[in-house]
């Protein structure tokens, strides 16, 4: 029989403590609404006593969230607890979460308090919180470095005082999984009344073990895990919500546990948190990283194309990602290259395919990643050699800091000479606007890049432009010792490719 593990999300409280991750009230509310769509059991909305902004955020979240419990954090100070209740009392399912440190290190150096006084403070705080709210959580900060006998006594006494959830934080990420699992087991065996409450854990990632420690705790009796989206939080962060949830879901053969999380909302929630906090998700981040479902090795690509289970233990769709991706690069094989050509609408003979693949490999040795536009350039320019509608005949540009940049361009359009002149904000802009006038193009310039092919002031410049029109994108390239001429060549090259696409030749 599968047991539920409750997901306590603290992205808006502990996650916000990441350097640079501060959020305003509107942003916090937006994330809270998404967390409710994700179906987390508890949303820790903030620390109301810390600032007026945090108080307001907790209050607004409490008013808007209807299904998830909404928690507010408070120290054992009665003023903290009262302030937390004033913010969270509007929630359909409110919770007060109070904490005090129990390790000798914290008691001596931070609180300057004896064990006996800390115990009294904890009991008093929980009793007061319970007089305000039926749902009270107590955390023993730095539990993993606390004396076990004292820790168990504190937990026993706060349960007697009315706590409904007992939380065991690995505040500094000190524990290892086997050790943390034993601690949770010992607490279950020694704490009086533990069977009447929910046992929770809150793991930090200083040694990279937050998720592993959380799983070990679940195996030993914890039924709530405190975690954050993308694992953000103090220092190295917290246990990652998405990793815990997907570990339990993927390894059902090993874990007889489940969560209520709607996993298809994981990816969108991850991206929202990243966007609002400005904290970039590392590409190799488990579950939600850009590379989590991307395959570049030729062996892996071949396997995934034949059967996804060969290299994917969970589907991208299960976490809200549309599909896995095949990243083409120097390690890719013919199978992946052929499949990408088919997706782009090209059916080449074996001889042309081999020529295109050889050229692709040569290009891949120079570029870290090959894009679809690069492949199309290989096929269109070097394999199919499609006739070009537009050709550059003549270009003259006048520019300087005391004159309006002017370009005079003569082109061959379908074999006929056409000449126009135009102005722009600079020599390249004037050139592009004049070419656009001649060709009557409606394409939008998305990217413009100049690179020096050789060194020195007489270096040949290579220009790359990217155009878009009605959802179709193309890349054009041009080279010349004059970068304005190179720019014109690249732009015209891209326009010819766009024309080719619009005609839907060779099955496109």
Cβ atoms of residues 192 and 160 within 8 Å: yes
Domain residue spans of the chain: 3-277, 294-384, 390-507
* Beta strand ranges found along 102-149 (DSSP E): 136-141
Cβ atoms of residues 56 and 25 within 8 Å: yes
Each residue of 274-290: pLDDT tens digit?
A: 989 988 888 889 998 87
294-306: average pLDDT: 62
Each residue of 208-229: pLDDT tens digit?
A: 999 999 999 999 999 999 999 9
Each residue of 242-274: pLDDT tens digit?
A: 999 999 999 999 999 999 999 999 999 998 999
Note the helical H segments in 345-468: 350-364, 372-377, 427-439
> Is residue 491 classed as helix, strand or coil in its secondary structure?
helix
> Is residue 371 classed as helix, strand or coil in its secondary structure?
coil
Query: What is the model's pLDDT at position 338?
Result: 81
* Beta strand ranges found along 119-222 (DSSP E): 136-141, 165-170, 198-203
CATH number of 390-507: 3.30.160.270
Cβ atoms of residues 128 and 81 within 8 Å: yes
Decide which of 3.40.50.720, 1.10.10.10, 3.30.70.980, 3.20.20.70 is the CATH code for 3-277: 3.20.20.70
Measured distance CA(282)–CA(90) in Å, rounded: 37
446-467: average pLDDT: 75
Lowest mean pLDDT among 230-244, 277-291, 331-345: 331-345
Architecture of domain 294-384: Orthogonal Bundle (1.10)
- Exposure string of 116-147, with b = 16+ CB inside 10 Å and e = fewer, is eebbebbbbbbebbbebbebbbbbbbbbbbbe
Residue keyed to tokens 């601690």: 183
Using DSSP, how many helices (H) and how many strands (E) does the chain show? 16, 18
DSSP lists the bridge partners of residue 450 as 463
Q: How far is CA 308 from CA 295, 301, 312, 447, in A?
A: 11, 9, 6, 34
Give whichever of 184-188, 463-467, 495-499 has the largest mean pLDDT. 184-188
Parallel/antiparallel/unpaired status of strands 94-101 and 136-141: parallel
Q: Give the tokens for residue 3.
A: 């047991």
N residues, the chain: 508
Measured distance CA(147)–CA(284) in Å, rounded: 38
Each residue of 156-175: pLDDT tens digit?
A: 999 999 999 999 999 999 99
Measured distance CA(433)–CA(439) in Å, rounded: 10
Each residue of 398-437: pLDDT tens digit?
A: 999 889 999 999 999 999 999 999 999 999 999 999 999 9
DSSP lists the bridge partners of residue 224 as 6, 200
Q: What is the dihedral of CA 252, 258, 259, 265, to 10 degrees?
A: 30
């Amino acid at each position: 029989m599968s047991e539920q593990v409750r997901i306590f999300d603290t992205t808006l409280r502990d996650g916000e403590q990441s350097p640079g991750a501060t959020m305003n009230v509107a942003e916090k509310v937006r994330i809270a609404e998404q967390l409710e769509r994700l179906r987390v059991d508890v949303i820790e909305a903030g620390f109301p006593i810390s600032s007026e902004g945090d108080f307001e955020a907790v209050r607004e979240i409490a008013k808007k969230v209807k299904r998830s419990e909404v928690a507010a954090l408070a120290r054992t100070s009665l003023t903290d607890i009262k302030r937390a209740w004033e913010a969270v009392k509007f929630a359909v399912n409110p919770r007060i979460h109070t904490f005090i440190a129990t390790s000798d290190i914290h008691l001596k150096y931070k609180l300057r308090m004896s064990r006996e006084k800390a115990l009294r403070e904890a009991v008093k705080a929980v009793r007061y919180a319970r007089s305000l709210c039926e749902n009270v959580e107590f955390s023993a900060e730095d539990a993993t470095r606390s004396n076990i006998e004292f820790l168990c006594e504190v937990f026993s006494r706060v349960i007697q005082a009315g706590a409904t959830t007992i939380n065991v934080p690995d505040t500094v990420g000190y524990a290892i999984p086997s050790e943390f699992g034993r601690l949770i087991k010992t607490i279950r065996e020694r704490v009086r009344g533990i069977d009447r409450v929910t046992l929770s854990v809150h793991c930090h990632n200083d040694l990279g073990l937050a998720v592993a420690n959380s799983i070990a705790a679940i195996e030993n009796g914890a039924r709530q895990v405190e975690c954050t989206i993308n694992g953000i939080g103090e220092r190295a962060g917290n246990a990652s919500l998405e990793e815990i949830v997907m570990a339990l879901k993927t390894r059902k053969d090993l874990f007889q546990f489940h969560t209520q999380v709607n996993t298809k909302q994981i990816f969108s929630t991850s991206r929202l948190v990243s966007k609002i906090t400005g904290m970039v998700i590392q590409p190799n981040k488990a579950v939600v990283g850009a590379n989590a479902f991307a395959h570049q090795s030729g062996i892996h690509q071949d396997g995934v194309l034949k059967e996804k289970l060969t290299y994917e233990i969970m589907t991208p769709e299960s976490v809200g990602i549309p599909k896995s991706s095949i990243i083409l690069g120097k390690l890719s094989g013919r199978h992946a290259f052929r499949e990408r050509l088919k997706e782009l609408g090209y059916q080449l003979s074996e001889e042309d395919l081999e020529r295109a693949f050889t050229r692709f490999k040569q290009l891949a040795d120079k570029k870290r990643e090959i894009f679809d536009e690069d492949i199309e350039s290989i096929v269109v320019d070097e394999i199919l050699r499609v006739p070009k509608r537009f050709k550059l005949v003549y270009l003259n540009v006048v520019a300087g800091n005391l004159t309006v940049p002017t370009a005079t361009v003569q082109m061959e359009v379908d074999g006929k000479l056409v000449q126009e002149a135009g102005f722009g904000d600079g020599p390249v802009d004037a050139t592009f606007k004049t070419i656009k006038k001649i060709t009557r193009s409606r394409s939008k310039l998305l990217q413009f890049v100049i690179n020096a092919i050789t060194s020195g002031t007489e270096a040949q410049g290579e220009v790359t432009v990217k155009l878009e029109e009605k959802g179709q994108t193309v890349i054009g390239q041009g080279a010349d010792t004059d970068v304005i001429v190179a720019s014109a060549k690249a732009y015209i090259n891209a326009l010819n490719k766009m024309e080719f696409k619009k005609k839907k030749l060779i099955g496109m």
